Structure 1
Amino acid sequence: MKRSLRVGFAILMSVVLMVLTACGGSNAGSNGKQSNQSGNEKGNTPPATQSSQPSPANPIKVTWWHSMGGELGEAVKQLVVDFNQSQSGIVVEEVFQGTYDESLNKMKASMDSKSGPSLIQVYEIGSRFMIDSKAITPIQTFVDAEGYDLSQLEENITNYYTFDGKLHSMPFNTSNPILYYNKDLFKAAGLDPDKAPATFEEVKEAAAKLTKDGQAGASFAIYGWFMEQFFANQGADYVNNGNGRTAAATESQLNNETGAATLAWWKDLIDSKAALNLGRSTADTKKAFLAGQVAMTLDSTASLRGIVDAAEGKFEVGTGYLPKAAGAKDGGVIVGGASLWVLNNKPEEEQKAAWEFIKYLGQPATQAYWHVNTGYFPITKKAYDEKLVADNLAKYPQFQTAVDQLHNSKPSTASTGAVMGVFPEARQIVEGAIEEALTGVKDPQKALDDAAKAISDKIGTYNKTLK
């Protein structure tokens, strides 16, 4: 890599990367922070299929930096063990690097010495930055070189990581938010336990009926990811210029009609005592839900097995689509999670070896193992034909809601998802605005106006740095 590129990359990193909540924090869904997975299925290991990579006497080493800890980390280790045993030409070494932000900071520090990874896992909101860094080889390069069939992958997942018609990274851990509700409490309140509230208005009505005797109808964590999803679900772009996809974003649209109406609905739930404000931690809302203190909550699809297992013997868990305002435009959910990026400062043979590993991860049986042992969506369509996945759906029928919601999301700039180089910072600003509105520090519109300006200013600074 040329020195000028390294310098530019370092400048970008210093502008963008902040110490933000990531996979070691409390929120779940879009940043690899799930801590409630149900654990590995003993004996369920991905198959040892042969790689097309030749087998030299000295195998090519691929270093993979990731941010999957705990039980997720154990699943990652198993994937690597099975790949390494499936062939002899490549040896993958997985290295846990802490949170996504920590991992990116370490990558920044490694660029001059080239001591960094061949492959790195980056959360979805880091995508624009990774492309702008010019430190990666787009996955499309490898796809085109061998005619790899992208149609075997879930379009509503790959769409997020596709820019200017090119797939830049390969999806790895993918999730989106769904509504979780307590069916037993629904029955007791005279509500249909088999019908989840689908609109903001229905959520408010149900929450009011469910609120009594110290029990709240709902609680949603103050999480910027949820606001991003509410926009997409109502067909509204989060930033200008086609959500930053037709051209670089220059302005936040957080304070538009969709944002104002959504935050007003959220605040009304709190003010009417139909919902509790438990702060920014999804771990806290999850705990309250499992304790029967709240009847509805929002959480990642990757939390499903953990929530259902924890509720077993206490109450039956229902799941529903992410709600939206009645009369809102068609939309859909955005994929959260992270993807895999190939670094371009490594030798060509090392990059190709990383691609071989990526292809292995995308195989149906491998995806079935990953899905069942983590709760993340399979990125490969044929994974749903695997017995392992079918058996898991039979045991956890609630996950069908997540699958249907993903497949029913209509592709658009809104549902494909916003991109901007300062997304991690923007998410924190949004959470501050929600907090100000819910606690009465600011009027919802004022909180959003101030937040939108702050985000737009940061986007402007970032864009100047690129020039």
Structure 2
Amino acid sequence: MKSKWFTLLSIMVLFSLLAACGSGGTANTGNTGSAGESPGNGTAEAPSGGEGVTTVQFWHSLGGKNGEYMDALIQRFNESHEDIEVVGTFQGSYDETVTKLQQAIASGTGPDVSMLERAYVQMFADAEVLEDLAPYLEQSGISADDFTPGLMGHSYFNDKLVSLPLNRSTPILHVNKTLLDELGLSVPTTWEEMKEVANALVVKEGNEFKRYGVSMPYDTWYPIAMISQAGGSFFNEDNTSIGFADNGAGEKVFSYLKDLQSTGALYYPPAQDSGNIVNSMFVEGKVGMIFQSTGSIGGLASTVDFDYVTAFLPKDEVYANPTGGANVTMLSSSKNKDAAWEFIRWMEMEEEGGLEFILQSGYLPFTKQMVESEQMQELWAKEPNRKVAYDQLEFAVDTNKDVAWPEIMHEFFSAIEAIMYDSKDIPSTLDTFKKETERILAQ
């Protein structure tokens, strides 16, 4: 186990150096905090610990406004608990947090509680460094059924409950409805409708496109969603290979995207800062629709000067969308487990805890109590765009779950780049990716 752990550490250090930062690259999968975030102040303000006060170290990956919201949450906790002091520390992007966490665990200096991007939970669970939270839930009278079902896909590993949802998101369709109305178009619900609408939105003058139909950040999130919509899955049932080769879902997805790209119906942005590029083009009316995270709703709504709506990602054979964002975990090495659990419990279940953070940030409500709260219902009535993502959780899928996902994700990015930027042959590129995936999974 230790040898495997340090092999994974080496892989993650390498991957973190290669991974893009900011709003491009892996940002919108939840691998770097929410789109548009910038580093926060680093450590939340906390009262000085006195005699009999237990200090809980909490590492997170939220900067910018969301970092401020998290700092405020920690302050509310500290003010309501005389015997526990939580010290929250911003550790950089999700990838950076993972690397620092591995190094800290190896040296015996890990925190008590940490945020973990949901796709990395299994890696830490397999290394047996995460506390089983099931007994804590039971002693607190909490049931796993109290949490939003579509967000629990990365909580159970090896028959243990090792994480709970925190700042979670999904990709959705963001639409400039003013443009669609001007052209007499409806918000698309299927791939075929999206193709028609996207092409109708194109404005070309000479050899230059003045407006594109649809766009999406450079990311694995959106192709994975579309593979699932086409009836495929990222991995096969026994996680020995990819699951979208035999039924042709992968070729179908990328052929569809390249077809849109060839007419200007799809603008595929450069990898660097792709999230901000796509958002800016949408705000400026240079693209009519975008695939983007729920985490972009607040920023877009406060910036656009047109009728802006959100919708489910269009379906092919079925509706399907992967989840993103991070969960919260307790390290099994913590010497303050009761205090650490009280912080997690309060953050997950108390109204002054996570609910206020969710209302401020725009992340998905992660408990049924949050969903049913008067505050959430009022927000959704006032801003229906925010409810779309929650409703879409009915079709949530997580098909890229494997301890080797971080390494395989790097290979998938290479395949995406070859197809979308270099127009390489789709079948041969995906075949190469399949062989690389099988090699990695067999290790």
Counting aligned pairs with the same residue, the percent is 27
Shifted more, 387-396 versus 76-85: the winner is 387-396
CA shift for structure 1 position 99: 1.4
Residue by residue, what CA displacement relative to the aligned partner does 1:380-428 show, whole Å, maximum 9, x if unpaired?
Answer: 112133333233223321112112111x227xxxx24321122223223
C-alpha separation in 2, matches of 1:117 and 1:24: 25
C-alpha separation in 2, matches of 1:432 and 1:324: 26
Name which of 69, 78, 84 aligns with 1:90. Answer: 84
Instruction: Name the Cα RMSD after superposition.
Output: 2.3
Moved >6 Å (runs of 4+): none
Residue by residue, what CA displacement relative to the aligned partner does 1:5-60 show, whole Å, maximum 9, x if unpaired?
Answer: 655532331234422436644232422432448xxxxxxxxxxxxxxxxx995122
The answer for the alignment partner of 2:362 in structure 1 is: 375
C-alpha separation in 2, matches of 1:234 and 1:362: 35
The answer for the alignment partner of 1:228 in structure 2 is: 224
Unaligned residue ranges in structure 1 (runs of 5+):
38-54, 242-246, 462-467
C-alpha separation in 2, matches of 1:346 and 1:33: 25
Determine helix, strand or coil for the equivalent of 1:352.
helix
Relative to its length, the structure with more strand (as a share) is 2
- 1:112 and 1:191, CA in 2 relative to 1: closer, same or farther beyond 3 A? closer
C-alpha separation in 1, matches of 2:185 and 2:422: 31
CA shift for structure 1 position 369: 0.9
Letter in 1 for 2:127: S
The answer for the alignment partner of 1:284 in structure 2 is: 277
Say if 1:364 and 1:381, in contact at 8 Å, map to a contact too: no
Name which of 117, 125, 132 aligns with 1:131. Answer: 125
Letter in 2 for 1:383: M
Matches within 5 A, 1:27-426: 27-36=27-36, 57-192=51-186, 196-213=187-204, 214-241=210-237, 249-256=239-246, 257-280=248-271, 281-311=274-304, 314-325=305-316, 328=317, 330=318, 332-347=320-335, 350-363=336-349, 365=351, 366-406=353-393, 408-409=394-395, 415-426=397-408
Letter in 2 for 1:21: A
Say if 1:60 and 1:91, in contact at 8 Å, map to a contact too: yes
**Structure 1 length as normaliser, TM-score?**
0.84
CA shift for structure 1 position 276: 1.6
C-alpha separation in 1, matches of 2:226 and 2:65: 30
Letter in 2 for 1:444: I
Shifted more, 137-146 versus 174-183: the winner is 137-146
- Count of aligned pairs between the two proteins: 419
| Structure 1 residue 21 corresponds to structure 2 residue 19 | yes
Say if 2:119 and 2:154, in contact at 8 Å, map to a contact too: no
Determine helix, strand or coil for the equivalent of 1:191.
coil
Matches within 5 A, 1:425-444: 425-444=407-426
C-alpha separation in 2, matches of 1:294 and 1:212: 10
Determine helix, strand or coil for the equivalent of 1:63.
strand
Unaligned residue ranges in structure 2 (runs of 5+):
38-48, 205-209
**Structure 2 length as normaliser, TM-score?**
0.88
- 1:145 and 1:363, CA in 2 relative to 1: closer, same or farther beyond 3 A? closer
